[in-house]
Structure 1
Amino acid sequence: MWKRFNLSRFVLALSLSGLSLASGVVGFMLIEDYSFLDAVYMTMTTISTVGFGEIYPFSPAGRAFVSVYIFFNLLVIAYLVSVLTTYIFDGELRHLFKMFKTDQEIRGYSGHVIVCGFGRNGSKAYHDLRANGARVVIVEQDESLLKAATETSGDVIAAVFGDATADDTLRAAGVERARALITTLSKDADNVFVALTARELNPNIKIIARASLKTSEAKLLRAGADSVVMPDEIGGSHMANLVVRPEVVRFWDMISGLGPDKLRLEEMRFAEMRPEFQGCSIHELDIRTRSGATIIGLKQSSGELLVSPNANIRPAPDDMLLLLGTEEQIHKLLGQFRA
């Protein structure tokens, strides 16, 4: 999908070549009354310029037709050679194979995340998701954004080039098999259309939408978005907190991976825990001593979120522990507790 508009040049060149062949056959049959096989023969010898000569002497009308036909074919051949040269020497052919390979890979994806729009918000979401090991498919209309990101990072980006509001584009990105979709398009109306389309194609997908206007939040939620994020509003609050609560912001930056001392938030479901730890109380789990990480919350199956849960609470099936620690501490914790 990346090279669709360049691929159209190749299709046009082939179409012109086919038109040239057909017009030659029809012209020789009508003007010189050649049989079909004779017309094909004369057309091929004229196109290839091998100069075998005429089967029968041409009439004046036939000579005029051949003169125009040769000139037309010179233009067609020049254009075809130009396109083929571009594809071979400028890497277009390699990009076509890469595009085909990417499309085949996306068809095999399941449980991935789709990010619509690769601007500032979309690219940040993509890099954070990739850093956490998620499979991501980008949907973007501006090919140059993806090309620049690929050249800068060297990362192979799985991408679908097209309009994210179109059903076919989201299907090409595997929306029916995706677990989440993030839409960060610049226009709120486009994000509403994406949310509507994605929810219709996959009722179980989690949708996170960007909004510029406060009035768009309710519309996005009605359209099927699970959460709406307003970057401008968040940015303003962040700047205000830098004045009134600077240390809180510093701690938040650490959790968000923006500060020099990065912390990591992680979640661990009851079903993911090793059997020997299931049924233990938070005190008996002793996560702090074993790994250095801290339990900062417990989301119960009822949906209630307990912050700094009591040490005597025993996580139940469908509960989820929320954990905080350094990358090393979280890695150590998961190695000990996750099945």
Structure 2
Amino acid sequence: MVICGDDGLARRLAVELDAVCGETVTVVLPSRRDEHSGEIDALHRNPNSPVELITSARPDDQTLRAAGVERAAALALAYGDDQTNMMAALLARSINPSIRLVIRMYHRERGRHLEQLLDRAVAARTPGVEEAFVDASTTVLSDADTAVPELVAAAALGQGHTLQVDGKVFRGVVRPAGEAPHASDLATLAVFSGSDRDDPRSQDSAETPGADGTQLLPDTVTSYHRQFTHGRLMLEEVTHDGVPDAPADALTPGSWLRERLAHLPWKVFVSREVMSVFGLLAAVVVLLSIATLLLVDGIPLWKAVYLPMLDIFTMGDPATDEEPARRVLQLIAGFVGLAVLPLVVAATLNASEVFRAASAAHPPTEDLADHIVLVGLGKIGTRVLGRLRSTHHRVVVIERDPHARGVSAARELGVPLLLDEATSPRVLDLARIGRAKSLLVLSRDDSANLDIVMAAREANPGIRVVMRLYDDDFAATVSHTLRASHPHAATRSRSVSALAAPSFAAAMMGRHVLGVMPVERGVLLFTVVDVAGHPALEGFSIHEAFKQNEWRVLAVGSSTDPAAYRAASASDTLDGLYLPRATGFDWRPPHGRVLRAGDRVVLATTRRGLDILMTGVQPHREPPAAPADTSATDRETR
């Protein structure tokens, strides 16, 4: 396996493939002194870890060949720049037409086109590729799209990772010890070591398990007997009741415009500075008008005011044919205008700039409650905002950079927006943090995120908090401290690269991953597998195909033509992964149903179980008993 990257995703992916999957890994980093290279360098120096490290500023032809792309099974291009990943993918495909490519792309449409282009190149060079297309040569993933469902689920639902398959939505839900099964429960995914877990999906969950430990994918007997004494993680189908309806107070376009105009900061134009400058101008006009009335004979009042104003703004004609007093006053008015007009212009421009900056914000109404406060509108925050609004959640956004990626999107969605530092209690008060149900902090600064959370906790001790923290040790310390200080409030920490790494690792091993569900220090992966020709599935019943702590069949459907992968439209996407149109899955299949060629199954697997399924190393077990009239040769062949 070869990994090329320049940020935390490359580091976590290397650790994932080495420590969990046992793969031989070569990592290409821009520099050994890079902030993310320390852990990879430690793996490289470890004699028990088959990790090689290459430093190169760019993934050019020479670098890729030095990394062994010619003979590698898979290449992950995890640079933060889409164009760099595209160039490297095209080079890698020319060096090794059969290599499996996993490409990190933020732009969805560009990723779809690149995936189709590279797979056409494989089809042209490799005969019979369609038959093997279940291990797709090119997989385009987005770390943002992979992490967003987990972040949204933690903020909106409080618990449970969401999974979307076949037009249905599923999530993992914790059932405390002794709680009766729900009608919506489909399968037991894990049994915890204790009676409950605060957050089994949290990557920073560092509680020491009990003697029995947390069991992933337990058997039916274990699940039944431990439901009375241990907490369980269940896969639940989310009905329409799980998605909030559109708010009753949702604004129409006309009412939104009226509210927007009412909240514009018109007061900046009557500020002290502006009023002082225009007051000075008015005083000058009054003095010159009085002087004109006193010194110029027979001039009416309106003209005595009008002419000095023209003179100040240098708009009048020269008073060459008028009496000397009028000519002197015109000169005085011109000099006064030279002194006063710059002040007027400066004050006006400053007020306009303040008005523009203030009007970019759109504070929420005073009666807003039960909403989600989102801090940060970068790459991740923008996607999170879109997902929250698509499910009709009330959202208030705080962003300090008026030019951030998602500011324009927030305005288009009509979301209340505050352009200021979220660490300020005044800004949190404007966001109605005291009546909010959740706080989602997604800036890239760990320290700033912690400051925001602590300030929010003081205003609302019971608010549900989800914060983005990169450093694992820091995340564990922060979460435990906040949970100890506020035991009745949910606190979650998430790292985007940690949430995305298992999906990238699984894709490098050659299977399409529907979703990833962290469970304490372990991970469950959800994949779609064709039964035909699979030694661990074909010919076995669902009960017999189950492998304790490794994989479980969740749903059974019909296979589609492999060519359908190429025809998948943009609407058939899931977290950045392009899938064929669903043919329908039965999520409550009888355990006695025998899996046949032509079936396609949805599996929940551990990382070790997925590795067994990918490599074809079949676990030792007896095949199902053959009918009495089946010959020995047939049984052996089967």
Normalised to the residue count of structure 2, the TM-score between the two structures is 0.31
User: 1:78 Cα shift?
Assistant: 4.9
User: When you count helix as a share of all residues, which structure comes out higher?
Assistant: 1
**Partner Cα separation in structure 2 for residue 147 and residue 293 of structure 1:** 40
Quote the residue 2:454 is aligned against. 196
Asked if structure 1 preserves the Cα contact closer than 8 Å seen for 2:397 and 2:416, the reply is yes
Confirm or deny: 8 A CA contact 1:146 1:157 kept in the other structure: no
| Match of residue 117 from structure 1 | 376
| Aligned counterparts of 1:261 and 1:199: Cα–Cα separation in 2 | 45
- Pairwise CA distance, 1:17: 5.5
Give CA-to-partner distance per residue, 1:185-240, whole Å, 9 cap, x none: 11100000011001011011000000121232034323577000011122222222
**Letter in structure 2 aligned against 1:116:** V
Shift of 1:143: 1.7
Aligned partners of 1:227 and 1:43: how far apart in 2? 69
Q: Indicate conservation of the 8 Å contact 1:212/1:230, yes or no.
A: yes
Output one character per residue of 1:58-111: Cα deviation in whole Å (capped at 9) or x when no partner: 9x9x99875532212333455577789x79xxx969x94x85xx42x4322100
Q: Which amino acid aligns with 2:402?
A: E
Q: How does 1:177-192 map to 2 (within 5 A)?
A: 177-192=435-450
CA distance in 2, matches of 1:192, 1:82: 38
Please list, as runs of the form range in 1=range in 2, the aligned pairs for 1:79-98 lying within 5 A after superposition. 96=359
CA contact (8 A) 2:285 2:309 kept: no
Match of 1:165 among 395, 419, 423: 423
Mark the CA change 1:184 to 1:67 in structure 2 (over 3 Å): closer, same or farther.
Answer: same
Q: CA separation of 1:10/1:107 partners in 2, compared to 1, >3 Å: closer, same or farther?
A: closer
After TM superposition, the runs of 4+ consecutive aligned structure 1 residues lying more than 6 A away are 6-9, 26-29, 41-45, 62-65, 80-84, 253-256
Residues 1:48 and 1:182: Cα distance change in structure 2 (over 3 Å): farther
Amino acid at match of 2:468: R
**Does 2:514 match 1:250?**
yes
Larger Rg: 2
**Correspondence 1:73 to 2:340:** yes
* CA displacement 1:120-162 (0-9 Å, x = unmatched): 12112211211222111110012223443257xx422221110
Tell me the alpha carbon deviations over residues 148-191 of structure 1, each in whole angstroms, 9 at most, x when there is no partner. Answer: 3257xx42222111001111111111101100000001110000
- 2:439 is aligned with 1:174: no
Considering fraction of residues, name the structure with more strand: 2
Aligned residue among 201, 205, 211 for 2:463: 205
Alignment size in residue pairs: 243
**Matched-pair identity in %:** 15
In angstroms, what is the RMSD of aligned CA positions?
5.1
| Separation in 1, partners of 2:337, 2:450 | 55
Paired residue for 1:231, among 496, 500, 520? 496
Q: Provide the C-alpha distance between the structure 2 equivalents of 1:213 and 1:107, rounded to a whole number of angstroms.
A: 37
Q: Are the aligned partners of 2:466 and 2:491 in contact in 1 as well (CA < 8 Å)?
A: yes
- Map 1:1-339 → 2, pairs under 5 A: 11=269, 15-16=273-274, 18-22=276-280, 25=283, 46-47=308-309, 49=311, 66-78=333-345, 96=359, 102-103=362-363, 105-144=364-403, 145-149=405-409, 154-221=412-479, 222-223=481-482, 226-244=491-509, 246=511, 249-252=513-516, 257-258=574-575, 259=577, 260=579
- What CA distance in whole angstroms lies between the structure 2 residues aligned with 1:184 and 1:141? 12
Change (3 A) 1:45 1:228: farther
- CA distance 1:213–1:72, change in 2 (3 Å): same
Separation (CA, whole Å) in 1 of partners of 2:379 and 2:458 = 27
Cα separation, partners in 2 of 1:174 and 1:235, compared to 1, 3 Å: same
More relative contact order, 1 or 2 (CA 8 Å, 6+ apart): 2
Is the 8 Å Cα contact of residues 138 and 158 (structure 1) preserved in structure 2?
yes
Stretches of structure 1 that go unaligned for 5 or more consecutive residues are: 264-291, 295-339
1:318-339, CA deviations, whole angstroms, 9 ceiling, x for partnerless residues?
A: xxxxxxxxxxxxxxxxxxxxxx
What amino acid does structure 1 have at the position aligned with 2:379? Answer: R
> The residue matched to 1:246 in structure 2 has which SS?
coil
